[in-house]
Structure 1
Amino acid sequence: MTAAGPSADRPPADRRLDEARAALVSVGAHVMPAAVTAACLDVSGTQWANFGRHWNSLCVDSYAAERGACRLRRYGRFEFTAPTGPMRLLPQESFVQPDDSNPLYIDVDRTFEPLTDSFVADPMLRAVLRLLGQSATALDTPASWLVKVHPFRGVASADGQGQPTPEGLHRDGVTLVSSLLVSRRNATGGQSSVFDSAGRPLVTTTLSEPGTLLLGDDRRTLHSVSPIRPSDPSHPAYRDVLVVTFAPG
């Protein structure tokens, strides 16, 4: 059988996932369109809407507020044998990033409210983590992964910009970094950019359709997101994303 034969026999979602894994290895970053993400997750519109309701239970990020940014979030950690092995929630700890990653929070142990029980139990979260695990194993194959889960909501009013990444251009000090758009309301801006270590742009995109997924090899890239503003200044702008990182456990 020719090389094209087995690929042609695979489901379209599997072929697109193969493309994402190959792009991570060759380019260092990849944007998965919302339709592909939905096909890979095999979820309905109702499941997606229910998943998005968890973002209404986030808490103020006091560390971002010190920089004048209105950002809501929660945080939790999982141990995961990717892509299909056991997955368990780990005890809550402070969030710490390596010294050579995020310059804004060097030597800062940040404490955030934990993920809610309903969010942890949502089958959609488990499906997302397994999809990301399939991407992470293109970059490395440790015995287990430490998976850090951050649901974020960026908020902007007419008199102030929303800063999705007040730290600016940075890396997270992990292997795989991902950003999944969950919802976006009354917002302009919020352009995601990924650069290589020399500062050359690799990917520039605005996550505008819920389900769009940005993947990056954090070991050799840097990333940032531009400010958001309200389209209608009489109402606030919201940008809801799920940021998940994978590092060897």
Structure 2
Amino acid sequence: MRTQFLRSDYFTHSGVSLSGKNLINEQLTSDGFSWISGKQYCLTDIMQDSWCEMGSAWDRLVSDRYLSDGGSYRERRMGKYHFFPWRDCLEKQDVEGIYYQATSINTTNGGVKRRSGPLEESFANNLFLHNLIRLYYTLLPVPDEWHEQSWLVYVHPFRILAAPNMVGYPTPEGIHRDGHLFTVQVFVRKENVVEDSAESQIWSEDERSLLFAKTFGYPLDTLIINDERVKHCVSPLFASGSSRGTRDIFTINFNLLSNNSPTKMY
């Protein structure tokens, strides 16, 4: 999973550099979302090695047994952290790996406590992941006073499966919100899939206007979403040829710890 990264004028945070920080923040403020190419990142050798070490974790995710359509096309794990910006302190929280969304957020698979297992320790404690969480936080357009509050951060690695006789649905609920303040989607890799399948889409709140559409293709391609301003979905994933296809990503969700979010993790 080693990747070459282009160099330019970068904003740097703990060994993870990113170009175009001001534009990203402006897009989040004006549009409610921002696309970041994986080519905008630059990593130190230590961060590059740490990023590569994460890769094998997607081979050990847990099958999602709670899909209302009875499908077996999604695997996942989950982790929870508390983040204290004024101290730059990120603390991993123990979880059983139970995820709950209110039906007001997820009409397809909500209203049920879904168990899939916690993050593996090596993934949960990964240095690159921790620094990426810190970096993304600095991009969020939030009021100054929120930097003095405690934040709740969820991390989900996902694998979507597809086969000649099975379509993979990254978002079986269709156009939706996640129930967070901000959602970050980070691409890892895909194998043996139709190139333009699994298109990431941003929709207006009333679901009438498609605002943005792009397919993840380069490691660390990123989509940051203000979940309170826009909705999103991903089109179906199709295998290419006769082999099983996979699409690996992870999401990082940000909420104020004081918020009563309709999406919870235990």
**What's the TM-score, normalizing by structure 1?**
0.87
Is 1:168–2:174 an aligned residue pair?
yes
Counterpart-to-counterpart distance in 1, 2:234 and 2:87: 31
Q: Could you tell me which amino acid in structure 2 is paired with residue 222 of structure 1?
A: K
Alpha carbon RMSD of aligned pairs, Å? 2.0
Check 1:175–1:28 CA distance in 2 against 1; reply closer, same or farther (3 A cut): same
Check 1:80–1:158 CA distance in 2 against 1; reply closer, same or farther (3 A cut): same
Is 1:91–2:94 an aligned residue pair?
yes
Counterpart-to-counterpart distance in 1, 2:157 and 2:68: 17
Pairs within 5 Å for 1:191-202: 191-199=199-207, 200-202=209-211
Counterpart-to-counterpart distance in 2, 1:42 and 1:178: 22
Counterpart-to-counterpart distance in 2, 1:69 and 1:165: 13
Is 1:229–2:229 an aligned residue pair?
no
Counterpart-to-counterpart distance in 2, 1:135 and 1:84: 17
Q: 1:131 aligns with which of 132, 135, 157?
A: 135
Match of 1:59 in 2: 62
Q: 1:242 aligns with which of 232, 245, 250?
A: 250
Q: Could you tell me which amino acid in structure 2 is paired with residue 146 of structure 1?
A: L
Counterpart-to-counterpart distance in 1, 2:101 and 2:122: 27
Q: Please tell me whether the aligned partners of residues 154 and 162 of structure 1 are also in contact (alpha carbons under 8 angstroms).
A: yes
Greater share of helix: 1
Counterpart-to-counterpart distance in 2, 1:203 and 1:245: 20
Match of 2:111 in 1: 107
Is 1:215–2:224 an aligned residue pair?
yes
- How far residue 82 of structure 1 moved from its aligned partner, in angstroms, is 3.4
Q: Could you tell me which amino acid in structure 2 is paired with residue 78 of structure 1?
A: Y
Percent of residue pairs identical: 28
Q: Deviations over 1:5-55 (max 9, x none)?
A: xxxxxx72225122111111100111101011x22x546654433221111
Counterpart-to-counterpart distance in 1, 2:181 and 2:86: 15
Equivalent pairs counted in the alignment come to 235
Q: Please tell me whether the aligned partners of residues 67 and 109 of structure 2 are also in contact (alpha carbons under 8 angstroms).
A: no
Counterpart-to-counterpart distance in 1, 2:44 and 2:236: 32
Match of 1:68 in 2: 71
Q: Which runs of 4+ in 1 moved over 4 A?
A: 41-46
Q: 1:78 aligns with which of 69, 77, 81?
A: 81
Q: Could you tell me which amino acid in structure 1 is paired with residue 9 of structure 2?
A: P
